[in-house]
A = this chain, B = another copy of it.
C-alpha cells in the first residue's frame, strides 16, 4: 500500500469528522484515543487506546504513522518537541502549536507581528489584575489562565474590584492573561489551511454566536460584512499562519468593533467549530483540507457552494433518545444535514450539529435553529 497513514491524537468529534474525507481520499487514519468508546474511536478501525499525556504512548503510536496531527491542543509541548527530535513529522509542529496552547505566548507573538489584539497584560495575582484594570482598561476586566480552557471554560469576566471571583482564575496554577472587555462587538472567525510548502487557502469569514461562552451558531459568510473587513480578516489569518509556520487548519477568532476594526481574540490550530459549515457548504471541507495540509498535498477550493450556510450546534439537553427525534427533523426538512458525534448526551455538551445550505439566510437560520432545538429537546414539534 502506497497510501500514507495520518495519526490523530485525541478521539473527539474533530478526529471523527476527519474520517469521511480520509475514506474519500483513500488516506488511512490511525487514532490515539483515551477509550475505545470515544467519538472518533467508533469510526476509525486503527485505534490505539493510550495516554496522550504519556511520552512513551505518544512515541509508540507516532512510529506507526507517517505524520502526526491533533484533535485538540492539550498534548504537552515538551512531548511534541521530543517527537520531533525522534524524527516524527508533527503537524502543526510544537513551535506553532504553543501559540494555541499558551495565551501569553500568543499575545506576545501577535504584538511582535503588529496584529491588533485587545489591550492586555500577563498578571500573577489578583492585585496585579486589579491594577491593570484601574490604570489601563477599566472594568469589567476579562481574565483567562494562559493555559487550559475551552468552550467558555477558563474565561472570567470580573465586574469590579469588589468581585470576589477575581481570585478564581489564579487557582489554575499558571499565569493569567488580563484583557480589556471589548464592548459592542460581534465575533468573526477566519479559518485558513496551510501546507508545509506554504500553500494556503482562506475560507469565507463567518460570524459566530456564543451563549455562556460556547459557540452555538455560525453563519457563513458573516452577514453584512464589508469586503474590506473580510479581506483584512483573511489577511490577518493568512499572516499568522505563515509567520507561525502553521500546518493544517488555523482558526482565528476575531472581534469586529462597531467601526469595523478587528481584534484577534483566540487561535485554534485544528479544524474548528466555526468551520463545520464547510462540510456541507464548501467545495472542500476544513477536515479534508486539514488532511491535505498535513500530508503536504495541494489544498482544495474553500469556496462556498451556496450563498448562505448556517450551522447550529446541538448541545446536550433534555432529550436523550436522539435517534427517534431524527424521524421528526429529517421528515420536516429534507435539505437538513445532521451530524452526530456518537457521544453520550450530557447537559451543555456538544453532541452534534446541523447545517442548512441555501440562498435565503432567514430561512436557513430558522430551519437550522428549529432542528437543533428539537434535537436538544427544547421544543416538541
Contacts and interface: CB of A to CB of B under 8 A. Distances in A.
Interface of A: 2-4, 16-17, 19-20, 22-26, 28, 41-45, 47, 201, 279, 283-284, 292, 297-301, 303, 305-306, 320-324, 326-327, 330-331, 334-342, 352, 357
B340 A25 contact: yes
27 contacts: A2-B320, A2-B321, A2-B322, A4-B323, A16-B23, A17-B23, A19-B20, A19-B23, A19-B43, A20-B23, A24-B337, A24-B340, A26-B322, A26-B323, A28-B42, A42-B45, A44-B45, A45-B47, A283-B335, A284-B334, A297-B326, A298-B330, A298-B334, A299-B330, A300-B335, A301-B334, A301-B335
Nearest to A289: B334
Nearest to A19: B23
Contacts of A25: 326, 338-340
A283 B305 CA distance: 11
Given A3-B342, A292-B330, A301-B334, 15 more contacts: A3-B340, A19-B20, A19-B23, A20-B20, A20-B23, A24-B338, A24-B340, A28-B342, A41-B45, A42-B45, A201-B334, A297-B326, A297-B330, A300-B335, A305-B305
Contacts of A43: 19, 22-23, 45
